[in-house]
Structures are given as C-alpha cells and as structure tokens.
Structure 1
Amino acid sequence: MNTKRSLITKFHFLFTMCCIGLASQLSAQTIAAGGTKPLGPLSSYVDPYIGTGFHGHVFMGVNVPFGAVQLGPTNMSEGWDWCSGYHYSDSLIIGFAHTHLSGTGIGDLGDILFMPVTGEVKPSKGRPGNPASGYYSPFSHSDEIAKVGYYSVKLKKYNIKAELTATERVGMHRYSYPNGSTPKMVIDLEQGIGWDRSGENYFRKINDTTIVGYRFSSGWAVDQRIFFTAVFSEKIKGLSVYDSTSVKDGAEQKGKRLKAILTFDPSNTEILVKVGISPVSTDNALANIKAEAPGWNFESVMRKADEKWSDELGKVKITTADPSQMRVFYTALYHTMIAPSLFNDHNKDYRGTDKKVYNKASFNNLTTFSLWDTYRAAQPLYTIIHPEKVSDMANTMLAIYKQQGKLPVWHLHGNETNCMVGNPAIPVLSEAILKGYKGFDQNLAFEAIKNSSMLDERGLYYVKKYGFIPADSMAESVSIGLEYAVADWSAAQVAKKLNKKDDFQYFKKRAGYYLNYFDPKAGFMRGRLSEQTWRSPFSPFESIHEKGDFTEGNAWQYTWLVPHDVDGMISMLGGEKPFLNKLDSLFFVKGDMGAKASNDITGLIGSYAQGNEPGHHIPYLYAYAGQQWKTAEKVRYIMDNLYTDKNDGLCGNEDVGQMSAWYIFSSLGFYPVNPSSGAYVFGSPIVNSAELKVAKDKTLKIKVLNNSKQNKYIQKILFNSKPYTKAYIMHSDLMQGGTLQIEMGAEPSRTFGQKKSDRPRSEYN
C-alpha cells in the first residue's frame, strides 16, 4: 500500500478512535455522576478481558451482536481453560480464527486461521520455546487493545501490528508490516480448537486477490462445514500450498491438513483482507462480503460494529454509583449477545441439521444453543429486551425438529451434540408460547414439544415406564430426571393454553416425578435403583464427574432443582420451617466432594455453587416461604463478591451468556426462577436506576431509592405510582412499560412479600 494511502487511513483511524473515546468518556462521566441519560455509546463500559482468566472461558476478539463471525486470537496452549481459544495467562498467539465459542466447557470451532508473518517460516504453528519450529508469535497484553468491534495486538516475533473488526458474516483484518520486510500470510485450514479435528479441506486461488475454500471438521460438532472467501487489498505475488508439511503443486488443492503461505510485494507495508464465511458455499461467502463490507474502509466497519453494540447495549440503560459496576454490567450484557449466533447467509440461505441447503428462509437461522445453561435466565432476558429475536429462535428450533426429529439439546453449527441433560429446548419454546409471542407455528411447536418428550432416548424410556430413571441404568440419572420434570411442567402449561386437556393431565403428572428422586430419610434427592432401593453408600457432598448420579454437582445442590413446583418442594422437605433451615444450611455447610468432583463446581458459598447453572435460582427460593429479605442478602453478596471487573471476574464458565444473564437480572432486582412461567422474583437491585426498552414504543423505568451497600433490603415498591406488595412480578406487567419504584433500607422489611398472598406461588412458578 502506498505511503499516502497509509497516512490517510491512519488519520481516519485516529480521528474515529478519538470521536468514540470522547463520546464514551462523556457517557461515563454522565452516568457515573448519576445523570439521567448517557451522552455517548455504552460500549465504552464493555471490557472483553473480564472472564478471560480463571474458568470464564469467554471469547476474546471482534464480532457484532449475535453475528456469525467471532474473529479473534487463538493461543498456542490447549486444554479446558482454552475452550474459547484464548486465556489471559497465555503469551503466545498462533493466529486469528473466524469462529470461537464463548464460555463453554468444551472446545470447538477456531475455523479458518490467518497469521501474518515475515521471513522464512514453516507451515506449522510450532512448539513453545522453539520459535523456529513454526509461525507462532509471543505477545504482551501491554501491546493489546480490546474493545467492542476492535481488537489489536503486536506480534513480537515479526514486529507486525494486527488489527481486527467484523460485520455479521465478514471478518476484516489489517496488518501493518515493518519497513523493509516481505509481507507474508499463513492460512491454516487444519487448525481448530479443543475437540475439533480437521477432515477435508479445500483451497483455491481464484485470482491475484481472491482465495476461496472450505473446512470440514469433526469434534463436538461431529460434521461441521464452513466455507470462506478471502479478498486481499493487494496482489498475491507468491503462493505455496502444503498438506501438512509437504508442498503441493497448483493453486487448487484438497487435503486433510491444508495450509498456504501467501507472499506480497515488499512495497506493501499494509495488507487488508476481508474474509466472508458461509455454511453453504464459497459463492455465498463472497456475496456476504459484497453485501456487508463492499469497500476497504476499516474504520467505517469498526465504527458500524461499535454502533451496533451501542444500540443493543442501549436497550438497558442503568445508573450506578460505582463505575466498576457499570463495567461488570455492560460486559455481562455484551456476553449475553455473543450467541445464539447467525448460521445463515445474507440472502437467508442456510445448511440444516440434515445437511441439506435451505434457500432464502423466512427467518434468521441460528446456532450455538447452549440450552441447558441458557434456558434459566439468558433466554428469558431475550424475551424482554430482544423480543424481535424470539421468533427467529423459535423458528430455528422448529426447523431443527423437522430435520432431526426432535428439538435441539445443545446445537452447534448444524449438529446435534446431545450435550448436557434434560429437554432444555422445551422450556424455551414453551416460554415463547406462554408469553404470547407470535411469528411461528404454535401447533407445530406443541407437536415438537410432545414428540421430543415421548422419545425413548436419553432416559425418557425409563421416565415413561417407571416414573424415574434407575441409577444403575445410566449416569447422572437424578439430574436428568429432575430436568425432565421441569420440561414436562412447561409442556403441560402449553397443552393447557392450547386446550389439549389429556396432554395437560399427562405432562402435569410427569412434572411431579421429581418426588421419585427424594429420599425422606436422607432428606435429599439421590439415585434410586428401584421402588424400594436407593443407591448406597450415599454422601450429599460427593460429586463424581460424568459417572455419578448428578451432572456437575451433588445432592446438596440438586435437591433444589424444582423451580416449577416450589410449593411442592416445601412440602416435600417438611414445611416452611424445615425448608428454610435446610436452605440456610446450604450456604454454610461444607464437605468433601471427593477426588472425582466436577471442575465446574466453583463459586462456592458453603455448598452453594454460583459458578454452575443448576443452582442459579436457589437464592431466590427464600421468597416462597416469606423471607424475601434473605434472598436480598444472598444475591447482594454474590454480586458484590463473585462478579468483578478483573480478568478473573467470573467465578465459573460464562456458558454462552447464562452466568452474565444471572447478573443482569439480579442487578435490576428480579429473576426468573421458573422461566416459562413468566414470573420474576424480587431480590436486591444494585442499580440506582434503569430504563429497559421492552417494545418499540414502550419503556420500563426502574427507580431505586436510598440504594447503597448497606441498604440492600426492599422496603416497599410502587408500580406506576400504586403500592405493589408482591414479592414477584409478571412478564406481562413488565412488558407494558411504566415505572417500578423500589425503596431500599438497611434492615429487612417486616411486611414486604411476607403475606402468603404476596409470595410467589407454584401456579405462577
């Protein structure tokens, strides 16, 4: 690139960054000072480093809300803490891939990896401690910039500045090479993340500036297919294609471990590349580039990405007295919008679970459904602030049902992974129906719910035959059975709404099967072998990862997994007083979980684990027995101590938005204990005020009076200027907009939420 063009580009970049920075600073000053409305983008509060340390496993890089592209660095290291490809502890980069997961406990994706290089390099990522063995480079966080829509890092080995931005389906790279060097680029189609293993790769040079290809791989997603087109700003002067380390003749190759090294003219000190991805074809990938990133203005793409994030983040505008809370809140909100991600092209073409191509669909097809995690809070959050996306999610699930014969369990890039337990799509789809969302076929939805519930797979055969899953028939039987009961309650409520009386009675009965896992003598849920026999020996503390009776947990944590029938659970535990005593005990008892305990049991308070999703509703259960003030104590403690604005600021896996969604809801002051019921239980808001855009023309305003670290107890609530005494509020009320005024105090209220008529009830929850 000539010097004049380079100087103009750099001027535009600096000007844009200054404008964004000034607007962000004004926004920060306004909100921190308690102003009513921010003056600039809320994106300035997002810190992508939060959750990249400890076990957060979050994505680092660039994307737009719910975009197909997650373009970012991939580290040299591998392992559980590198499920997203990046961990704060690492100091080596092997390149920049276009797909990444965020917060999962299994690694995959990492497709279509680019790495700028100079000098003589080998077509291999190399080995740590031996720089000559491959193309990897050291880097330092001091040379890194990470913000929404923009990522930059200096690759020390080559003295190259790498810059990234993105649209929905296009990753845009800008690489600044040192003067006097010969710019080169490695494209690695073998490299993936975690379980991912390369299958068939294809690479073809179309002309002097365009490369196309595909990468088929197998891993967590057993048959993943991704196509790409890469367009360069400068002419490719040299090309070497390798299968592993063997050079191949010709500019078109198929292989299992394809890599290419591209060489550019030494006069080009700056190389830009636009990479479009597609689940369908290289032609569609090129069309995505033409539709979303037709020019070469890096700053314009970056600015638009920031604007898209600011628009979405602006659906929830809060004020707090603590700037760090602002960073935690808006980073959490950002994390909830990384997925579900688009899995279609700009023209709406997509590839289904059956591997067939569906052209010009009437909805946006999505992927990365971590439903066992997200049905608890992330999906309910979408129904409030992203109502326009609910029908896309529902239609995607119904398309998956038609293609694979059941609703998704954990869907990834056109593949059913069957990961985790229960039928978590059922509460999500039921929630959409019960909350009155349209834009999808509700009769087909109930058909999908019913048929997915009546299969014989994954323990359902035993549920239908015995009313429980025998502990010696499969691992994690208790967790699986309890999750099925939650889904069955949701199915029953949909049947009731659609006037399917027999189905209602059937699924209502199955929703009560949670009782079959409770041992009254032990006082816990536990593995059952038969009507008369429990698995022994038994310890409520023990956790055996993937081979015990519980999924990433123990009996202390799973005994409370009855969010759909808390009244029934209270009776099961002997009444309100024993229920409250046992709930109190959960937060201070400690015991030996054993040598085979799950790594996911983190964020412990006694035996309560905030770092894993099955217990996220538990702190809110006090309200069902008239002690809402204890809910306030617990959720305030969790927010104050287990969520920070540091790189290790998450106490467990982000799990595709669920860990952060808990914080978003809890910060605002309420939480969906039983999501598809439409009821939200009050806790203890930490914001001073909030405005939620709940519909095109409606806003919910939350005003929190006398709020402070000491004043954590709700004293009284006014909703639209009228006294509101209930310890919960319904979705239908929130979506009408208006003003929710919450008055806080330093001592528990003796009246709020204590009357039985004011407590959340199982007919709602």
Structure 2
Amino acid sequence: MGCGQQAFAAKSKNPVQYVDPRIGSGGHGHVFVGANVPFGFVQLGPTEPVRGWDWCSGYHYSDSVLVGFSHSHLSGTGIGDLGDITFFPTQDQSRVSCFNHDHEKVSPGYYSVRLSPSNINVELTATARTGFHRYTFPSKGEAMVVVDLQKGIGWDQWTDSRLVQENDSSISGYRISTGWAKNQQVYFAAVFSKPIRHFTAINDSVGIFSFITNGENDPLYIKVGLSAVSVENAKLNLKAEVGSRHFNAVADKAKSLWNKELEKIQVSMDNDVDKRIFYTAFYHTMIAPSVFCDVNGDYRGSDGKIYRKADFVNYTTFSLWDTYRAAHPLATLVHPERMRDYAQTLLAIFRQQGKLPVWHLMGNETDCMVGNPGIPVLADLLLKGFVADKEVAFEAMKTSAMLDERSMNLLKAYGYIPYDKEPTNETTAKGLEYALADGCIAQVAQQLGKKDDYTYFHRRSQSYQFYWDKSTHFMRGLSSTGSFSEPFDPFLTTPGKGDYTEGNAWQYVWLVPHDVHGLINLFGSDEVFTSKLDSLFEVKGDLGKDAAPDISGLIGQYAHGNEPSHHILYLYNYVGKPYKSAPRLREVMHTLYHDAPDGLCGNEDVGQMSAWYVLSALGIYQVNPAGGVYIFGTPIVNEAELAVGANKIFKIIAHNNSKENMYIQSVRLNHKPYTKSYIHYKDIVAGGVLEFEMGSQPSLSFGFSKKDRP
C-alpha cells in the first residue's frame, strides 16, 4: 500500500465525526435538527415558536426559545408541517424556555440542550419508530412533563386527540391534524421511568404529569413509540426497537447506524472543512424518505385504509419535484437495498390513490409542485433493474400521465398547455415538467418493446418545443391561438401568476434534461447554445418585488438555491466543452456550501441540495432524470470509494487535484483510456476504478468529439 493509500485509509474512519446537523439550520436551509436514524419515521428534536417561513422545520438557528420536543419534523421543505406529540420538562409548570447554543449539542442520533432559566438538561435519541428522552432536573422535589397533542408546525392544525394514563408509568393516545397533509394520524405509547404522582388533563389534548426527582443524579427517562396505525402498534414498535435498553445503548446504536450508512462513501479531501460539508450533506440525504410502516409491516395507505403485514418497507415524505434530480439518482448508487421498497411504495400509492405520488407526506397526497415527478423516479428505478413487475410499473406511469387533472387535459387537447386556458398559470413550467416525465415513459416503453406507446410519449416529450420563442431564445407562455404571453421580461418572476414555477425565463429555458441535443438544435448551433449558457452566469436583472425567496444562490441568473437550475452546469458537456463547467462548479461548491448554520444557499428540499453537492464533489451528475447517464464535472475529492452493493466498490481517484487543477485532462476506467465525458450507471455499480487526470488549464480535446458527448 502506497503512502497515498495509507492516508486515504486513515482519513476514512468514523465519518460520523464530520457531520454537523446544524449546517443549514440558519438562512433558508430549513433543515431538521435533532435525533433520528437513517430514513427513520421519528425525527425527535426541539420545536421553536413558528415565526415565519424559515421555521418550516420547527427550528431556526437564529432563535433562542423552545416550546417543546416533538417527535416528527420535516427537513428542508418550503412548507411547514408535522411537529407531532410534543413533550416539555419543567419544574414550575412553564411551557416555554430559552436556550443558548453554547449549551446545545447535536450529532447524528443525539441531541441535548440545557434549558434556561430552569437548568433542566434535555437529552434525546431515537430509533426508526421511537423517541427516547432523558431529562435531568437540577433540584430535588417535584418535576413535571407537559405532553401537548395540540401543537404543530406551520400549516399543521389540530383536529382531534386523545390522551390516556394507562397505569402508574404509562400513557398513550393519538393526534389527528390537517394541513399540508390533510389527514395526518399519529398514535403513541410512552413509558416513564418513574411513577406518575399526578395527572392533570386539559381538553384531552394537553396533559401535565408530575414525578418526584432526587435531582441531578436521578434523571427521568421516557420511551415513546409512534405509529400511524394504532396505539397497539406504537406499543409493539416500542417493545421491538427499545424494550429494556438503556438510553446510552440506544444513542450508541443510532450513531452506529449513521456511521454504517455514511461509510458507504469514503472520501479523501484536502481539509476537514470540506469533509464536514461533504458528510453533513450525505447525512442530510438520508433523513427522508421516511419509513412509514410498523415493525410488523402494517401501514396506513394513501386511501386511509390499514394494510396489514406488508412484504415490503413502506415509505413516505417524497419531495419528488426536488429529489428526482439528484437525491434519487444518488440513492440508486449507494442504497440499492432500499430501492425495491421505494418502487413498491410508489406502486402501492398508485393502487391506492389512482396515480403515482406528486409530493407525498404521511400517506397523504399534497399535489404540491408541478409536473409528474413520481414518473422519473419510478422510470429510473425500472431502467436500473429495481422493479420486479415492469408491466405494472409502466401502467402506473402511463395512467398517471393520462389523467385529466393538473392541466393534463389541456396538454392532451392542444399538445401544450395554453396560458389563457389555465387559471393558475405557471403553464410553461408545467409543460416542461410534463415533457421530461413523458420522455422517461418513452424510455421505458422502448425498453419494453411498446412501439405505439413509445411513439406517443416520445412525441409528447417534444412538446417543450411549443414554448420556444426563436426570436428571444427563451421558453415562453403560449396562448390557445398560438401567441406568446405579453409583456415579457425574462428576469421577472411572479409566483402563481407568471409562466414559471419559482423561477424566470433565464432559468427555465434549460429545463429539457431528457433531450438536451434537441434543445441545442432549437438554438441553431453549439456556438449559440454555448454563448447563451455563458450569459446565464453573467446577466443581471430584477426578479421583481414578488419573487419567491426560493430563487436564491444567484450567480448571474443561475439560481442554485432552487432545483430547476441544478442540472444546468453540466450542459456544457453536450456541446463538447466540459472544461467550461469546471470553474462554475467549483464556484458553487466552494462559495454556496459552508460548514456553518447558514451553510446552504436555499432550502435543503429533503436532501436535494445536499445530494447535488455529494454527486458533484465526486465529479458526476445524472442530468437526464431516468436511465443512468452520469455526466462528468470536476471532482473536489482526491479519492472516494462508493459501496455500490453486492460487496462491490467503485473507486474514484482525482490525480493532481487541487484548487488550481480543476480541469479534467483525461480519464481512465479500470486502468484503460476512457474518452467519454460521462459514464453509465451499469459501469459504476459493476465496481472498478475511475481515474481523473486533473490540470490547471482547460483541455480542448477531452469530451470534444461528438462520439464522446453524452
């Protein structure tokens, strides 16, 4: 083993130490801060008063007030919800407390904070379906725990609850609420380590439980099982996942589970700051999708019915408009053991609600965002071999793409979505999203030999061309009579009223990831396309007073803080100029990601912002959302090892990599020269070695030939 290999091995141990869950908890990151395990149903953490949009997760780093510790939180969303089953320790019946970040600790699977002025120390850990609390009170005497079933986060509104004391140390109940998820049901069972002296109930939704404590050497432990099915199943989850285990053992297990998942990508980087950013990003990609079934396989379906003893792991929290772009393509590489369950979950949702999910939360369809984002995810899983019944999956995609809802009736009637026929507008964004989803269906139809379906959906995938205005070189809203919307300002964005969703014409002209060469043809030549792409990063303009806060992380009009821009930097490869992406990619990775609370330039969006970073740091990115073509960029890792399943390792080495040496000069795959500026999924998951030779000057030959372009 050479010196470089020894250094790599030494740096790769215990990646959990590099994770800082508070990265992204300031600014507009909206990440979850608290205790959980990878893909767990429970996210147990502090909940602050909701003071605005930046409190969507229930926590913002700028705040210093807590109202409790809730068992469910979202991470990185632009809408607030959850915040179920809130506990709060006190010795004076107060239900609010201050805190200081100097007295707060958070690491994967563990959270602690000292409350002020009470000096009660709170520690939290979790399993997939349970939360575990340890409260240490500073003085002897009476201690109380307030259990609040009314509180929620953001849009969440209480509708019903029940709180029952079952014996001298156990309580149970449920909370039903409506909000982003219209019918949210959470059942719980909790066991206290001390006998309950007194129980005061307030409207069956708030309970105050009192205990006797001997002070700092006599903590109160609370084990809480959760279920979306029933109290009985909550008890079953609690017994199976915690049982008689001690707090420290559960916390150690949580840390071990995180370490096991984080070790799936082992990296050598120049410094610990970069490693903190990388491993925290990887950590953030594994908060969701969340397990949404009990230990016995029971789960609540999208139709509200209970399904018993399912033979797959059911999931929820699918932020698909965001995550189809990078989070799911990353997961297919490093979490292959979960992908069949993802596919079966998507198909179960289809059976229960009649269409694939759009944005699924707690078993509820929210219909949030535009397009058919469940289709690219399922198509990608099918094309990569994770779907057992391809015929059933194809029918799910086809049926979802033919429903007369969400402007689809207009698309079928006109071939595009006329802005004068759609009252909610955003028609250009809707049309472009539908086109890329149809392109994914066409790929599947082609693989399955369905010629008529392929012809139909391929034609629909070309519908993006209707929106093309050759006089301005932008995608624009088109009326039913064939005229473009006026007045037109390519910088302006008006949420819910204009042509675009959380973006403007500069950002949406590139949203043709399924047919980049077709888009290039609309521009007329590689040179014109390249010139327009160069301009994106330079032009300045006013987005308007109503611009959505999601449009952030701006470099010119490239908006890294929102998902429609995420593939754009990789489009240079399609015109034979991959070197042009390198300085921009490095700029984004080094200036828009930091190891600080304000470390993300936009919403985390349930793992998408972080997944972009993880893939880009490795030097690869899947532009077409289905099919597995990963485009080369500029790696910032010196070495990386990906555990890609079946005991196979895919190793990436960037020789002579440095801040200055950002340009790929040449590539070798499994020690043989490799001239393409992309790599296929099948070559990655087969295991092997991908070597980049890096240099300080652009290579005008690598990836230039048309046969080497994606």
CA distance in 1, matches of 2:164, 2:389: 43
One-letter amino acid matched to 2:55: W
Once the two structures are superposed, the pairs formed by residues 256-295 of structure 1 within 5 Å of their partners are: 258-267=205-214, 269-295=218-244
Q: How far off its partner does 1:33 sit?
A: 8.9
Contact 2:79 2:154 in 1 (8 A): yes
CA distance in 2, matches of 1:78, 1:380: 35
Contact 1:347 1:360 in 2 (8 A): yes
- Aligned partner of 1:125 in structure 2 is none
- The reply to whether residue 353 of structure 1 matches residue 313 of structure 2 is no
- The reply to whether residue 108 of structure 1 matches residue 78 of structure 2 is no
- Aligned partner of 2:91 in structure 1 is 118
Tell me the secondary structure at the aligned position of residue 142 of structure 1: strand
Contact 2:474 2:506 in 1 (8 A): yes
Q: How far off its partner does 1:267 sit?
A: 3.4
CA distance in 2, matches of 1:665, 1:181: 54
Contact 1:340 1:368 in 2 (8 A): yes
Q: How far off its partner does 1:40 sit?
A: 3.7
Q: Pick one of 332, 342, 346 that aligns with 1:393.
A: 342
Contact 2:50 2:154 in 1 (8 A): no
- Aligned partner of 1:639 in structure 2 is 589
CA distance in 2, matches of 1:259, 1:642: 43
- Aligned partner of 2:553 in structure 1 is 603
- The reply to whether residue 202 of structure 1 matches residue 162 of structure 2 is yes
Contact 1:32 1:321 in 2 (8 A): no
- Aligned partner of 2:40 in structure 1 is 67
Contact 1:32 1:319 in 2 (8 A): no
Once the two structures are superposed, the pairs formed by residues 36-115 of structure 1 within 5 Å of their partners are: 36-38=9-11, 40-115=13-88
- Alignment coverage as a number of residue pairs: 704
CA distance in 2, matches of 1:296, 1:727: 52
Tell me the secondary structure at the aligned position of residue 141 of structure 1: strand
Contact 1:424 1:487 in 2 (8 A): yes
CA distance in 2, matches of 1:353, 1:627: 46
One-letter amino acid matched to 1:652: G
CA distance in 2, matches of 1:264, 1:650: 43
Tell me the secondary structure at the aligned position of residue 450 of structure 1: helix
TM-score (norm 1): 0.91
- The reply to whether residue 498 of structure 1 matches residue 448 of structure 2 is yes
CA distance in 2, matches of 1:117, 1:670: 50
CA distance in 2, matches of 1:77, 1:417: 21
CA distance in 2, matches of 1:181, 1:141: 28
One-letter amino acid matched to 2:62: S
Once the two structures are superposed, the pairs formed by residues 525-674 of structure 1 within 5 Å of their partners are: 525-674=475-624
CA distance in 2, matches of 1:113, 1:546: 35
Q: Deviation above 6 Å: which 4+ runs of structure 1?
A: 30-33
CA distance in 2, matches of 1:571, 1:216: 53
Q: Deviations 1:209-251 (Å, cap 9, x if unpaired)?
A: 11000000000001100100011111001000002xxxxxxxx
Q: Pick one of 260, 277, 284 that aligns with 1:335.
A: 284
Tell me the secondary structure at the aligned position of residue 236 of structure 1: coil
Tell me whether 517-526 or 85-94 shows the greater mean CA deviation: 517-526
Q: Which runs of 5+ in 1 are unaligned?
A: 1-29, 122-133, 244-252, 761-765
Q: Deviations 1:680-720 (Å, cap 9, x if unpaired)?
A: 11000000100000012210011110000000000111100
Q: Pick one of 453, 456, 460 that aligns with 1:510.
A: 460
Contact 1:224 1:413 in 2 (8 A): yes
Q: Pick one of 138, 154, 173 that aligns with 1:213.
A: 173
Tell me the secondary structure at the aligned position of residue 610 of structure 2: helix
CA distance in 1, matches of 2:697, 2:638: 18
Q: 1:414 to 1:39 in 2, by over 3 A?
A: closer
Q: How far off its partner does 1:380 sit?
A: 0.4
- The reply to whether residue 418 of structure 1 matches residue 378 of structure 2 is no
Tell me the secondary structure at the aligned position of residue 401 of structure 1: helix
Once the two structures are superposed, the pairs formed by residues 461-476 of structure 1 within 5 Å of their partners are: 461-472=409-420, 473=422, 474-476=424-426
Q: Deviations 1:68-104 (Å, cap 9, x if unpaired)?
A: 0000000124311000000000000111000000000
- Aligned partner of 1:447 in structure 2 is 395
- Aligned partner of 2:254 in structure 1 is 305
Q: Pick one of 187, 190, 197 that aligns with 1:230.
A: 190
One-letter amino acid matched to 1:421: V
CA distance in 2, matches of 1:227, 1:668: 41
CA distance in 1, matches of 2:637, 2:482: 51
Contact 1:670 1:682 in 2 (8 A): yes
Q: How far off its partner does 1:35 sit?
A: 3.0
Q: How far off its partner does 1:531 sit?
A: 4.1
Tell me the secondary structure at the aligned position of residue 361 of structure 1: coil
Q: Pick one of 165, 176, 184 that aligns with 2:136.
A: 176
- The reply to whether residue 758 of structure 1 matches residue 708 of structure 2 is yes
Tell me whether 177-186 or 413-422 shows the greater mean CA deviation: 177-186
Q: How far off its partner does 1:553 sit?
A: 0.2
Once the two structures are superposed, the pairs formed by residues 313-328 of structure 1 within 5 Å of their partners are: 313-328=262-277
CA distance in 1, matches of 2:498, 2:7: 50
Q: 1:141 to 1:757 in 2, by over 3 A?
A: same
Contact 2:570 2:633 in 1 (8 A): yes
One-letter amino acid matched to 1:193: I
Q: How far off its partner does 1:135 sit?
A: 1.2
One-letter amino acid matched to 2:129: R
One-letter amino acid matched to 2:608: Q
Contact 2:12 2:267 in 1 (8 A): no
CA distance in 1, matches of 2:140, 2:295: 40
CA distance in 2, matches of 1:142, 1:308: 27
TM-score (norm 2): 0.98
Q: How far off its partner does 1:266 sit?
A: 3.8
CA distance in 2, matches of 1:588, 1:544: 22
- Aligned partner of 1:741 in structure 2 is 691
One-letter amino acid matched to 1:416: E
Q: How far off its partner does 1:152 sit?
A: 0.4
Identity, % of aligned pairs?
54
Contact 1:76 1:136 in 2 (8 A): no
Q: How far off its partner does 1:675 sit?
A: 2.2
Tell me the secondary structure at the aligned position of residue 151 of structure 1: strand
- Aligned partner of 1:241 in structure 2 is 201
CA distance in 1, matches of 2:352, 2:644: 33
- Aligned partner of 2:665 in structure 1 is 715
Tell me the secondary structure at the aligned position of residue 214 of structure 2: coil
Q: How far off its partner does 1:179 sit?
A: 1.8
One-letter amino acid matched to 2:153: I
Q: Deviations 1:616-665 (Å, cap 9, x if unpaired)?
A: 00000011001100111111110011011011010000000000000000
CA distance in 1, matches of 2:192, 2:425: 51
Q: How far off its partner does 1:397 sit?
A: 0.7
Contact 2:213 2:219 in 1 (8 A): no
- The reply to whether residue 373 of structure 1 matches residue 346 of structure 2 is no
Alignment RMSD (CA, Å): 1.3
Tell me the secondary structure at the aligned position of residue 307 of structure 1: helix
Contact 1:31 1:38 in 2 (8 A): no
CA distance in 2, matches of 1:510, 1:595: 35
Q: 1:366 to 1:31 in 2, by over 3 A?
A: farther
One-letter amino acid matched to 2:180: W
